[in-house]
Structure 1
Amino acid sequence: MGGIIKSSVARKFAMALSGLFLVFFLLQHFTINFTSVISPDIFNELSHFMGNNFVVQALLQPVLIFGVIFHFIMGFILEIQNRNARGVGYKNYNGNANSSWMSRNMIYSGAVILAFLGLHFYDFWFPEISHKYIHGLPEDPTRYYEETIVKFKDLWRVILYVVSFIFLMLHLLHGFASSFQSVGFNNKYSKGLQGFTKAFAIIIPLGFIFIALFHYINQL
């Protein structure tokens, strides 16, 4: 851990690994959520499995929470480090010429995503913890679909979700590809990988937006 704290290269490498882990979780989360627009029964089955499987709850979920916290802490540390470096060593630094808007504003898109995660936890994770561990209510394998779609009944919440996923798209458009560069993936497949990361960064957030709008419109 001392090396990660002291070395900027180690911090970037660790942040890239945590980012790739979160992208994998994002894909898994999207896959399950997308079934809610296809079949409530399949969505309930998958949600029940994820919510009651010991490995998922006791092992993977803590790792996920740690990964989220670690990724954002590393992001803020690297942003402060980069700002200090520009102030000292780059008097003629021109952000517009040397980098994209997305790369220069990762800290802001990340902050929006972090705020969204707070809303998402409030909407889904905290009620789930309350249901199972605080109130000790009986488990109902068919409850997940109704509990999910009711969150998209209010337009203001849907708008917040849509805006948040747009910022997630912007964050991924730079962050996903740069994560592979940070871990040293640089070969003949790099160009194809960049195309894949851009497609992923656009399609997955748009998919989440579609899910939110689908459930909102269906309840009008």
Structure 2
Amino acid sequence: MGGLLKSSVAKKFAMALSGLFLVLFLAQHFTINLTSVISPDTFNEISHFMGTNFVVQAILQPILIFGVVFHFIMGFVLEIQNRNARAKSYVSYNGSANSSWMSRNMIYSGAVVLAFLGLHFYDFWVPELAHKYIESHPEDATRYYGELVSKFVSPVRTGLYVVSFVFLMLHLLHGFSSSFQSMGVNNKYSEGIRKFTVGYAIIIPLGFIFIAAFHYFNNL
């Protein structure tokens, strides 16, 4: 495996595969969070299941964390390789002519998304661990909605979430579609896939922004 990942093509393939996995998680995460706007009880039920189910906690959650770490480390490695390659052929390289702004700045949008994930873990995952394993509170299947809403009381924190999802949109607009290209998908369905990825890249982040704004204005 280590030898395989020395290949630039293999690295791009592995990064694309991890990216597609994270896109699936993002859709699932959005679906669950959207229920908080529709039905607090439903949100509590799903969140309680996700928070107490052994398969989710002991298997899927570690895989997700590994996928996040792997994707971003591979992204930084590929960015360093690309910069070194451009430095050697800088005379003929014209970034703005050969690629879009989003593709040239994936490392920056990715860094913002990574910083947001740090905030998100601090807001939700760390308190969840403390609640379960440190503070030893009695089990409460109705606490999740209130904990979610409390994160959007501050206009500053809500604003950080909104800005982060804008950068996520920019990251997905290039990254999602290029994942299929890196995996060698080039057939009659390519244009349909491209349109789907663009729609996903716009709708999902806007959906998260809507959820954050909904709870913030409900708190006023």
Query: What TM-score do the two structures reach when normalised by structure 2?
Result: 0.99
Superposed counterparts of 1:32-181, under 5 Å: 32-181=32-181
- The 8 Å contact of residues 3 and 10 in structure 1, kept in 2 or not, is answered as no
- How far apart are the structure 1 equivalents of 2:134 and 2:70? 27
For 2:47, the aligned partner's letter is: S
- The 8 Å contact of residues 36 and 43 in structure 1, kept in 2 or not, is answered as yes
Percent identity between the two aligned chains: 77
SS of the residue aligned with 2:151? Answer: helix
- The 8 Å contact of residues 169 and 201 in structure 1, kept in 2 or not, is answered as yes
Q: Which residue of 1 aligns with 2:16?
A: 16
- How far apart are the structure 1 equivalents of 2:90 and 2:182? 22
For 2:208, the aligned partner's letter is: F
Q: Provide Cα deviations, 1:157-205, integer angstroms capped at 9, x if missing partner.
A: 0000000000000000000000011111111000011000000000000
Query: Is 1:189 aligned to 2:189, yes or no?
Result: yes
Count of matched residue positions in the alignment of Structure 1 and Structure 2: 220
- How far apart are the structure 1 equivalents of 2:64 and 2:115? 17
SS of the residue aligned with 2:3? Answer: helix
Q: Provide Cα deviations, 1:53-105, integer angstroms capped at 9, x if missing partner.
A: 00000000000000000000000000000000001134221111100000000
For 1:186, the aligned partner's letter is: N
- The 8 Å contact of residues 4 and 14 in structure 1, kept in 2 or not, is answered as no
Bigger Cα displacement from structure 2, 18-27 vs 127-136: 127-136
For 2:149, the aligned partner's letter is: I
- How far apart are the structure 2 equivalents of 1:194 and 1:213? 29
Q: Provide Cα deviations, 1:82-139, integer angstroms capped at 9, x if missing partner.
A: 0000011342211111000000000000000000000000000000000001122111
Bigger Cα displacement from structure 2, 109-118 vs 2-11: 2-11
For 2:82, the aligned partner's letter is: N
> Gaps (5+ residues) in structure 1?
none
What displacement does 1:25 show? 0.1
- How far apart are the structure 2 equivalents of 1:61 and 1:68? 11
What displacement does 1:154 show? 0.2
Q: 1:137 to 1:4 in 2, by over 3 A?
A: farther
What displacement does 1:5 show? 3.5
For 2:178, the aligned partner's letter is: S
- The 8 Å contact of residues 15 and 71 in structure 1, kept in 2 or not, is answered as yes
- How far apart are the structure 2 equivalents of 1:26 and 1:81? 28
SS of the residue aligned with 1:2? Answer: coil
Bigger Cα displacement from structure 2, 86-95 vs 40-49: 86-95
